[in-house]
Amino acid sequence: MEQKNNLLKKDINQEIKETKEMHEKKGFKAWFERAAANITRATGSSTAFLIAVLIIVIWGVTGPVFHYSDTWQLVINTGTTIITFLMVFIIQQSQNKDSLAIQLKLNELIACEERASNRLIDVEDLTQAELEVLKKFYVRLSELAEEENDLFSSHSVDEAAGQHRHKLSLRKRPMPATNNSANNNSTATKNE
C-alpha cells in the first residue's frame, strides 16, 4: 500500500525519465523490443509477402530438378516451421505493446469523462468471472437504452439505474410554457 502511495506521489515526468534511462541501457530486453518492432513492420509489408511468394514459387519450380525428393520437401517444411516458431514470439511481443498502448488510451478517455466509472480503468486485471458480471451489466444498459429508443442515452457502472430513472423523470416533466412554446403549440394544433 505504501509503495502504491509513493508511486502516486512521484511526478509522472520523473517516472518517465527514469524508465527511459533504464531502457536506454543495452540489454537483451531493449534489443528484443526494437528488433521485434522492426521485424513486425518489415514482415507486415507487401514486399515481404512478395518475397515469401517468390520463395514458394522457386521451391515449386525446383521440384522436378530435385525429383521431388524428401530433402527437397524437408527444406520448405523446416524453413517455414522455424520462421513460424520465431514469429510467434516476435508478433506476441509487438501485440503486447500495442495492447498496453490501447489500454492506456482507453484509460485516459475513462479518466477524463466525468460520468464514466473510474473503476473500469484497470478492468483488464479482473478475472473472467468478474468480466462476465460487467458484461451482464452492460447488456442491461443496452436493454434500457433500447427500451428508451434513444441512441444518445449514457450510463456508467456506478450510476446507471439512478441516472436512468432521472432521465426518464426529466422526459415526463411538463415543459414550462414560454412565448416560443405557446407559439409552437398553436402552430402544432393548426397543423393537426
* Cell numbers placing 6: 509513493
Cα 87 from Cα 110, distance rounded (Å): 34
- Residue 120 exposure: Cα atoms within 13 Å on the Cβ side: 23
Among 59-63, 88-92, 164-168, whose mean pLDDT is lowest? 164-168
15: confidence class by pLDDT, cuts 50, 70, 90: confident
Measure the CA–CA gap between 152 and 160, rounded to whole angstroms.
14
Q: Quote the pTM value.
A: 0.58
* Among 165, 164, 159, 166, CA closest to 115: 159
- Residue identified by cell 402544432 is 188
| pLDDT digits 0-9 by tens, 123-149 | 888 899 988 988 888 888 777 777 777
pLDDT given at position 186: 43
Tell whether the torsion through CA atoms of 60, 64, 65 and 67 is positive or negative: positive
